[in-house]
Amino acid sequence: MANRQQPSPMPFQRYGQYEQVDIPDRTWPGKRVTVAPRWLSTDLRDGNQALIDPMSPERKRRMFDQLVKMGYKEIEVGFPASGQTDFDFVRSIIEEEGAIPEDVTISVLTQAREDLIERTVESLKGARRATVHLYNATAPVFRRVVFRGSKEDIKQIAVDGTRLVVEYAEKLLGPETEFGYQYSPEIFTDTELDFALEVCEAVMDVYQPGPGREIILNLPATVERSTPSTHADRFEWMHRNLSRREHVVLSVHPHNDRGTAVAAAELALMAGADRVEGCLFGQGERTGNVDLVTLGMNLFSQGVDPQIDFSDIDEIRRTWEYCNQMEVHPRHPYVGDLVYTSFSGSHQDAIKKGFDAMEADAAARGVGVGELEWAVPYLPIDPKDVGRSYEAVIRVNSQSGKGGVSYVLKNDHKLELPRRMQIEFSKIIQAKTDAEGGEITPRDIWAAFQDEYLPNPDNPWGRIQVRTGQSTTDTDGVDTLTVEATVDGEDTVLTGTGNGPISAFFDALQSVGVDVRLLDYQEHTMSEGASAQAASYIECAVGDKVLWGIGIDANTTRASLKAVVSAVNRATR
Q: Residues annotated in the binding site, as ranges?
A: 46, 253, 255, 289
Give the bridge partners for 184, in sequence order. 135
Which CB sits closer to ligand ACO, 169 or 481? 169
User: In 368-377, which positions are buried (b, 16+ CB within 10 angstroms) versus exposed (e)?
Assistant: eeeeeebebe
Q: Which residues sit in the known binding site for Mg(2+)?
A: 46, 253, 255, 289
Whole-angstrom distance, CA of residue 111 vs CA of residue 78: 12
Which CB sits closer to ligand ACO, 162 or 569? 162
* Axis crossing angle, helix 228-241 with helix 193-207, rounded to the nearest 10: 40
Given a contact cutoff of 8 angstroms between Cβ atoms, the answer to whether 130 and 120 are in contact is no
CB under 5 to 8 A by kind: which of ligand ACO, ligand KIV, none does 112 bind? ligand ACO
CB under 5 to 8 A by kind: which of ligand ACO, ligand KIV, none does 184 bind? ligand KIV
Which CB sits closer to ligand KIV, 137 or 379? 137
Which CB sits closer to ligand ACO, 285 or 444? 285
CB of 336 to ligand ACO, least distance (A): 27
Which CB sits closer to ligand KIV, 183 or 548? 183
Among candidate residues 379, 393, 378, the one with its CA nearest the CA of residue 346: 378
CB of 129 to ligand ACO, least distance (A): 22
Q: Are strands 38-41 and 74-78 parallel, antiparallel or unpaired?
A: parallel
CB under 5 to 8 A by kind: which of ligand KIV, ligand ACO, none does 120 bind? none
CB of 235 to ligand ACO, least distance (A): 19
Tell me what percent of the chain is helix, strand and coil, each rounded to the nearest 5. Answer: 45, 20, 35
Which CB sits closer to ligand ACO, 218 or 422? 218
Q: Are strands 464-473 and 479-487 parallel, antiparallel or unpaired?
A: antiparallel
Question: Interface residues with ligand ACO (CB under 6 A)?
Answer: 46, 49, 79, 81-82, 109, 111-113, 116, 135-136, 146-147, 157, 186, 222
CB under 5 to 8 A by kind: which of ligand KIV, ligand ACO, none does 253 bind? ligand KIV
CB of 215 to ligand KIV, least distance (A): 15
DSSP for 176-231 reads: TSEEEEEEEEETGGGS-HHHHHHHHHHHHHHH--BTTB-EEEEEEESS--S-HHHH
CB under 5 to 8 A by kind: which of ligand ACO, ligand KIV, none does 417 bind? none
Given a contact cutoff of 8 angstroms between Cβ atoms, the answer to whether 289 and 281 are in contact is no
CB under 5 to 8 A by kind: which of ligand ACO, ligand KIV, none does 113 bind? ligand ACO
Among candidate residues 452, 345, 324, the one with its CA nearest the CA of residue 397: 345
DSSP for 430-442 reads: HHHHHHH-S-B-H
CB under 5 to 8 A by kind: which of ligand ACO, ligand KIV, none does 81 bind? ligand ACO
CB of 219 to ligand KIV, least distance (A): 9
Which CB sits closer to ligand KIV, 66 or 182? 182
CB under 5 to 8 A by kind: which of ligand KIV, ligand ACO, none does 195 bind? none
Our CA angle for 34, 379, 263, nearest 5°, is 45
Neighbours of 216 (CB within 10 A): 23
SS3 520: strand
SS3 450: helix
Q: What Rg do the C-alpha atoms of the chain give, in angstroms?
A: 34
CB under 5 to 8 A by kind: which of ligand KIV, ligand ACO, none does 147 bind? ligand ACO
CB of 262 to ligand KIV, least distance (A): 16
CB of 218 to ligand KIV, least distance (A): 6
DSSP for 297-362 reads: HHHHTTT---SS--TTHHHHHHHHHHHHT----TT-TTTSTTTT-B-SHHHHHHHHHHHHHHHHHH
Which CB sits closer to ligand KIV, 267 or 417? 267
Among candidate residues 332, 304, 305, 306, the one with its CA nearest the CA of residue 317: 332
Which CB sits closer to ligand ACO, 136 or 341? 136
Q: State the residue number with the nearest CB to ligand ACO.
A: 82
Question: Interface residues with ligand KIV (CB under 6 A)?
Answer: 46, 109, 135, 184, 186, 218, 220, 222, 253, 255
